[in-house]
Amino acid sequence: MRRGWAFVGVVALALGSGASAAWAGGPGWSHGNEARVLRVGTYHGMRGQYASIQDAVNAARPGDWVLVAPGDYRERGSDEAGVYITTPNIHVRGLDRNGVVVDGTAGPSRCSSAPADQQGAGRNGIEVFEADGVMIDNLTVCNYLRGGHGGNEIWWNGGDGTGTRNLGRFGGSYLSATSSYFESGQPAGEYGIFVSNTTGPGRIAHTYASNMADSDYYVGACPDCNTVIDDAHAQYSALGYSGTNSGGHLVIKNSEFDRNKTGVSTNSQNNDDAPSPQDGMCPDGETGPTGTQSCWLFTHNFVHDNNNANVPGSGSAEFGPPGTGIVISGGRNNTVKGNVFVRNGSWAVLVVPYLDTGTPPPVAHCDGGIENWNNLGCYYGVWGNEVAGNFFAANGAFANPTNGDIGDLSDLHDPGNCYHGNFDPHGITSAPDAIQTTHGQCGVPNAGEDVLNSPLSTQVLCATELLGPCDPSTGYYPRGDNVVMPPLAPQRTMPDPCANVPANPWCPFDHGGGYGPGYGWCDRPRS
């Protein structure tokens, strides 16, 4: 489940991926007369049937709702997770996003940062395990830390490490995921909102994540993820968004990534997120949302100020290049269109190959890569990516050679990567130079800077320090020396948490058979 970077010789970078596709309902979603509302906690003086979320989840049947009153829930449902969900087609909803907290700490303070209060190591916060149709809305999860299978605050898990996809429909909205604790060498919060091994359709809307040692958001191990991330905000983490071997229908839109070490990444990797590679090509010859054959789309996002090295770090995520807006590493056929990239100190957009030198697990077979490349490992070239119609400003402020708006480190391939219609008021800066002239046409052969011996490869290696500390004469990139964990600010709560919930003592009016605001296909006025 751990994702990583590898950069051997002067070769490639690794980082993770995006999200997409259509959202649809299906059998099992309508609550009907048989649906029950299982209430947790006390709301307006009315006590629910359950004191813990896990007890209510254990009692739930498909179609039921678990409604959670404001409170600090120190959940220890299993060795795997604070709240462990295996029942399909249930809906878990908090009545106040900021007030309903699934808390991995002990002691008197909510989401305590005190070392002695960290009780969540080795668990995930809320984990949905291979259960279709589970919706989670309007709550916060904090301080579930790495160890065993733990470290994900909210996780839809369709079979991590199996190489198969055993999760269909899923959704979440108005969610916050964070950690207040980090000490070097100790367990940390790894991933905020995490989706793996899914076929979708899935949608994550109106969410916030911060202070993660790997990434705030993650989607992986799904050749056709059929997932959308909409209106996300990712801050103060090693990576704002990461995804490995996640392709097909996958859209990230209307979101903000800032003050991370690296903003966004998508990569191929020969690991337990099999099968590789990361490929945004539409299945079955379908036309994607921009009229091309790419169904992986990163659009209408604000990616800025990702220069923060004083974030928690974990494993190979520590080697992400500080100051980078988005990295496509060994990924193919992705579309980056109509975004704003501002004040990222290294590169706003960086396209590089990926060399995985790790020992692969049994499910990984270097699919889509070159096995034992130069006797080093599994090598993934990078091609067919389109970067178009984006706005750039004030990127490359670290002022090392090649730093700027766009960097392309790639081998000759047909088709190569293409760049057109991008705008910087001071002119697009790129390596190779004049990239919108030399690489402006899509669907034709081309290559970027030399993978093994070029100023760009030297700088990527310097930024990541994968072969050791970078000589100051080679380049300057900020290094973390004082990790700061900003507290979670109040986030926008669901406008009407009783919307679409069957009538019950806390929500005395049945508002109809939809599934709550924020899912796109069901928004309608409250009746």
DSSP-assigned letters across all residues of 401-461: TT-EEEEEB---BSS--EEES-B-TT---EESTTHHHHT-STTS-B--B-SSSSHHHHHHH
Check residue 327 and give its pLDDT: 97
- Tell me how far apart the alpha carbons of residues 217 and 181 are, in angstroms, rounded to a whole number: 18
Check residue 443 and give its pLDDT: 96
pLDDT at residue 25 above 70?
no
Instruction: For residue 407, give Cα distances in angstroms to 322, 352, 432, 436, 500.
Output: 14, 8, 7, 12, 48
Q: List the one residue out of 189, 432, 461, 212 whose CA is nearest residue 321.
A: 461
Q: What is the mean pLDDT of residues 399-426?
A: 98
Give residue-wise pLDDT tens across range 334-369: 999 999 999 999 999 999 999 999 899 999 999 999
Poorest-pLDDT segment among 13-22, 322-331, 408-417, 437-446: 13-22
Q: Read off the DSSP letter of residue 284.
A: G
DSSP letters, 3-52, are ------TT----------------TT---TTT--EEEESEETTEE-SBSS
Q: List the one residue out of 14, 1, 316, 15 whose CA is nearest residue 162.
A: 1
- Token pair listed for 84: 């462990």
Q: What is the mean pLDDT of residues 261-289?
A: 96
Confidence bin at 319 (pLDDT 50/70/90): low
Poorest-pLDDT segment among 133-142, 212-221, 317-326: 317-326
pLDDT at residue 524 above 70?
no
Q: What percent of the chain has pLDDT over 70?
A: 89
SS3 462: helix
Check residue 521 and give its pLDDT: 27
- Tell me how far apart the alpha carbons of residues 175 and 491 are, in angstroms, rounded to a whole number: 9
Confidence bin at 55 (pLDDT 50/70/90): very high
Q: Read off the DSSP letter of residue 235.
A: E
Q: What is the mean pLDDT of residues 59-78?
A: 96
Check residue 86 and give its pLDDT: 98
- Tell me how far apart the alpha carbons of residues 486 and 375 are, in angstroms, rounded to a whole number: 44
pLDDT at residue 62 above 80?
yes
- Tell me how far apart the alpha carbons of residues 307 and 315 are, in angstroms, rounded to a whole number: 19
β-pair partners for 227: 202, 250
Mean pLDDT over each residue of the chain, to the nearest integer: 90
SS3 464: helix
Confidence bin at 509 (pLDDT 50/70/90): confident
β-pair partners for 222: 246
Residue 391: count other Cβ atoms within 10 Å of its Cβ. 15
Check residue 28 and give its pLDDT: 34
Check residue 527 and give its pLDDT: 25
Give residue-wise pLDDT tens across range 146-202: 988 789 999 999 999 999 999 999 999 999 999 999 998 899 999 999 999 999 999
Check residue 520 and give its pLDDT: 33
- Tell me how far apart the alpha carbons of residues 385 and 426 are, in angstroms, rounded to a whole number: 24
| N- to C-terminal Cα separation, the chain | 44
Q: What is the mean pLDDT of residues 76-104?
A: 96
Instruction: For residue 178, give Cα distances in angstroms to 54, 105, 189.
Output: 20, 12, 8
Confidence bin at 489 (pLDDT 50/70/90): very high
Contacts of 339 (CB under 8 A, 6+ apart): 298, 299, 300, 301, 302, 303, 390, 391
Give residue-wise pLDDT tens across range 418-446: 999 999 999 999 999 999 999 999 999 99
pLDDT at residue 21 above 60?
no
Q: List the one residue out of 123, 124, 120, 54 whose CA is nearest residue 90.
A: 54
- Name the one residue in this structure whose structure tokens are 């928690």: 312
> What pTM, to 2 d.p., does this model score?
0.92
Q: Are strands 347-352 and 324-329 parallel, antiparallel or unpaired?
A: parallel
Q: What is the mean pLDDT of residues 472-490?
A: 94
Check residue 516 and give its pLDDT: 38
- Tell me how far apart the alpha carbons of residues 240 and 327 are, in angstroms, rounded to a whole number: 11
353 preceded by cis ω (within 30°)?
Answer: no
Check residue 316 and give its pLDDT: 56
Check residue 8 and give its pLDDT: 30
Check residue 306 and give its pLDDT: 98
Confidence bin at 84 (pLDDT 50/70/90): very high
Contacts of 110 (CB under 8 A, 6+ apart): 72, 101, 103, 142
Q: What is the mean pLDDT of residues 286-310?
A: 96
Confidence bin at 515 (pLDDT 50/70/90): very low
Burial class (CB in 10 A: 0-12, 13-18, 19+), 11: buried
What ranges do the domains of the chain cover?
1-19+243-477
pLDDT at residue 302 above 60?
yes
Check residue 317 and give its pLDDT: 56
